Chain A
Amino acid sequence: MKILNIILLISYIIFFNNALAEEQDKKNKITKNLRCLICQGQSIYDSDSEFANSLKILVDKKIEEGLTDDQIYQYFKDKYGDWILYDPGLNKNTYILWLLPLLLFLVGGAIIYKNFIAKK
């Protein structure tokens, strides 16, 4: 078993010894979070439409200008609305979206505890 893991580890060292440039990472992260408006349902990162390609260039430019992730998101949000972001931030429109699952989790836990564990 340990041998297996050592093999696994070594193979990783061989195959993935290229550290990724940080800027590329940042760009990928941002474009993955932007939704293509022409080919609805894909991210900018995944899409090869004209719109998506131009947007990728613009993201590059903005990164070069030294904008932070949030500033870049805000920039596109101002132009195209919340719809363009895949990651809906926590705001008045999305409180329920983010908190309801967590609330359900807590309620579920309480029900289980009350009915099955602590029952006398």
Chain B
Amino acid sequence: MIYSLIGNYSLILGLITGLILFYLSFKNFQNPKLLNSQILSFTFFQLFFVLVSFICLILSFVVSDFSNETVFNNSHTTKPLFYKISGTWGNHEGSLLLWLLVLTLFIYIFLLKTKNQSVKYKILTLVFQQIIIVGFFVFLIKTSNPFNYLFPIPAEGLGLNPILQDPALAIHPPILYLGYVGSSIIFSSVLAASCLKIVNSSWAIHIKKWILTSWIFLTLGILLGSIWAYYELGWGGFWFWDPVENVSLMPWIALTTLLHCILVLERKSILTSWVVILSIATFTLSMCGTFLVRSGILNSVHTFANDPERGLFILIFLFILIFLSLCIFFFFHKDENKKFQSFFWLSKETSILINNWFMMYFLSVVLIGTVYPIFLDVITSEKISVGPPFYHKLMLPFLIPFLLMMAIGPRLKWIKSKLDNKIYLISLLSISILFSFLILNFFNQKILINTVLISSGLYLFFITLRDFFISKNKNLSQNFAHFGFSLLILSILFNNLFSSEIITNLKVGETFENGDTKIIFKSINQKKEKNYNSIIANFKIQNSNGKKDEFFPELRIYNQPVIATSEADIKTTIMQDKFIVINLVQNQDFFNVRYQVKPLMVWIWLSVLLIASGGLISFLKKRL
């Protein structure tokens, strides 16, 4: 109770601090010789208030204070402490509070760490960031206050959705939000820089760190979400082109594009308009994602509480921000000096432009695929589904030239370049084609596009691999990221092509046998845990080469709320994952057993880590 009270007032104080900050900024802006020290301290206060609020909410969860509506809706006394805490951000109200925490944290660090930029720029960035922060404060307090009071006080909470009771998903939201919200700093600072007309090389160098920070967290956040989906949703996939996944992918694509584009801006002051648009787009897409997910306008496997009022608020807020940023863009932003010459067709600039071109295409595919059903429904009230086949058909053909460009692009020099070592570039290409042809032919896969895709993936793989050992001008971060990407594409392709599965119905004691796999359903046991009861099955699976594995997939029945889930048992090795999951069949005494062999799963995760580490290297690198 006391925590809710403190938390609530702390939130209001945070909002007031935001308003004070507006006032201070305007005062300081008229006399911008020195950054007013009050601004820094008030920014800190704001962070402090939000932090207090957040800690209060965590404490409310820890002590299971059911007079708090959020706690009542999302917790239960029997939950393990870890999930009581992670339940704090596993719900709408708490996760918005987390948003706010990250927003205030980032602007504080921004003010603290930005040294070489003008005071005016810092203040303006703060103002734009405060517009976002105050908007979120109002949103939080008005439509989704995490400290709503319940009376009479319920004796017990409703519990946390079992599929959220999972370690990966406990840390997934904070990391993802660091990425999402990190883009707010890019948004604010690009608006500030536009107003002051300082979108140039030195600004690019300064903002690159922020882009990288945001990008790394977003990459890791998506990775965690994907891993979670793989083992928790229980059907062995890791990416479903589900709207909620798409909305996290869209800012990622925009950020990646921005990251490449900023490289050009670092060296020459060109493409400034494009950088501004991309920066605005990144944050807009994050916000748009929040809107699509929270408003319940989309149909998705991931469930959130839907409330049209919240959706409306975010929608209006989102459009105000878009409108504001467009106004600034059109009024203040002047295009780069006209004296710039055209790009030579074979140069790093051109290759980055082409990267941008393809990335924007991928982004438009994801965006249109995600929102199109909404549009069609509103306009013609026809309902359609846009699923994986759509994305695959539109993206895979374009991935081929994209991969080839990824291999060649980084080898080009700025301004004007010619391809060195043509012989080895071509010989590697032919080796890749040969390999992919051999591999696929061997497994009777005769689809042309697969061969070509794998060839181009292998090509990128070989070239980046070679660059690790023999390259004159080493760009380790780029090399890591591109190598990771080639590995990612190859693992996903091989995983798709060579996954095998057995679906069968078995009773305890029965054995299933086909060609080279023998599945023995040995026994079932029961287990009682604090927050669930489970049935653990014991399987023995024998391969033709005599290798035996024991598996223990589970069926869990959570008590609060009562929901049954299937927990897969996964044996991971370097080369492949073995994945087994069981399901109850209504009114029958057998279980539905699904056994999958999925090659190279672990490489999918590792390659994403490699991509992220490329970003990290760039972040840590001292500029020469």
Residues of A near any B CB (own CB < 8 A)? 1, 5, 9, 11-16, 18-20, 32-33, 35, 39-43, 46-48, 50, 53, 81-88, 93-94, 96-98, 100-102, 104-105, 108-109, 112, 116-120
Is B368 an interface residue, CB under 8 A from the partner?
yes
Is B387 an interface residue, CB under 8 A from the partner?
yes
Stretch at the interface among B78-86, B196-204, B325-333, B359-367: B359-367
B443, A16: Cβ atoms closer than 8 Å: yes
Is B342 an interface residue, CB under 8 A from the partner?
yes
Is B282 an interface residue, CB under 8 A from the partner?
no
- What chain A residues lie within 8 Å of B494 (beta carbons)? 12
- What chain A residues lie within 8 Å of B300 (beta carbons)? 41
- Give residues 451-489 of B contacting A (CB, 8 Å): 462, 465-466
- What chain A residues lie within 8 Å of B385 (beta carbons)? 35, 82-86, 88
A9 to B353, CA, bound (A): 36
* A-B CB proximity, top 9 nearest: A86-B387, A87-B389, A41-B301, A119-B342, A46-B235, A48-B583, A105-B361, A101-B365, A16-B498
Nearest CB of A to B516, in Å:
6
Q: Which residue on chain B has the smallest CB distance to residue A108?
A: B357
A20-B357 CB under 8 A given contacts A40-B299, A41-B299:
no
Q: Which size class do B's interface residues fall under?
A: 35 or more
- What chain A residues lie within 8 Å of B583 (beta carbons)? 48
B500, A86: Cβ atoms closer than 8 Å: no
- What chain A residues lie within 8 Å of B462 (beta carbons)? 1
B364, A116: Cβ atoms closer than 8 Å: no
Q: Which residue on chain B has the smallest CB distance to residue A40?
A: B299
- What chain B residues lie within 8 Å of A11 (beta carbons)? 575
Q: Which residue on chain A has the smallest CB distance to residue B435?
A: A5
A112 to B343, CA, bound (A): 10
- What chain B residues lie within 8 Å of A46 (beta carbons)? 235, 237, 240
A116, B350: Cβ atoms closer than 8 Å: yes
Q: Can you show 10 pairs from A to B with CB atoms below 8 A apart? A: A5-B435, A9-B439, A15-B575, A42-B240, A84-B385, A86-B385, A87-B387, A93-B376, A101-B394, A119-B342
A108 to B357, CA, bound (A): 6
A18-B500 CB under 8 A given contacts A9-B438, A101-B365, A112-B357:
yes
A117-B301 CB under 8 A given contacts A53-B585, A104-B360, A109-B357:
no
A120, B342: Cβ atoms closer than 8 Å: yes
- What chain B residues lie within 8 Å of A15 (beta carbons)? 498, 575-576, 597, 599
A109 to B466, CA, bound (A): 31
Nearest CB of B to A28, in Å:
8
- What chain A residues lie within 8 Å of B372 (beta carbons)? 94, 96-97
Further pairs besides A88-B386, A97-B376, A108-B360: 19, Cβ < 8 Å: A12-B442, A12-B494, A14-B545, A35-B385, A35-B387, A41-B300, A42-B240, A43-B387, A46-B235, A53-B585, A81-B383, A85-B384, A86-B385, A93-B382, A94-B384, A97-B386, A102-B394, A116-B350, A117-B343
Nearest CB of B to A98, in Å:
7
CB within 8 A of B498: which of A12, A40, A53? Answer: A12
A82, B384: Cβ atoms closer than 8 Å: yes
A101-B361 CB under 8 A given contacts A19-B443, A41-B301:
yes
A100, B500: Cβ atoms closer than 8 Å: no
Is B444 an interface residue, CB under 8 A from the partner?
yes
- Give residues 214-272 of B contacting A (CB, 8 Å): 235, 237, 240, 242
A14 to B37, CA, bound (A): 68
B235, A42: Cβ atoms closer than 8 Å: yes
A108-B386 CB under 8 A given contacts A42-B301, A117-B343:
no
Is B345 an interface residue, CB under 8 A from the partner?
yes
A23 to B604, CA, bound (A): 29
- What chain B residues lie within 8 Å of A112 (beta carbons)? 353-354, 357
Nearest CB of B to A51, in Å:
11
- What chain A residues lie within 8 Å of B345 (beta carbons)? 117
A116, B386: Cβ atoms closer than 8 Å: no
A101 to B585, CA, bound (A): 43
- Give residues 71-117 of B contacting A (CB, 8 Å): none
Nearest CB of A to B496, in Å:
11
Query: Residue-by-residue, is B125-166 near A (CB-CB < 8 Å gives 1, otherwise 0)?
Result: 000000000000000000000000000000000000000000
B388, A86: Cβ atoms closer than 8 Å: yes
A37 to B300, CA, bound (A): 12
Q: Which residue on chain B has the smallest CB distance to residue A4?
A: B465
Nearest CB of A to B429, in Å:
15
A109 to B350, CA, bound (A): 12
B466, A41: Cβ atoms closer than 8 Å: no
Nearest CB of A to B399, in Å:
13
- What chain B residues lie within 8 Å of A42 (beta carbons)? 235, 240, 301
A5 to B432, CA, bound (A): 10
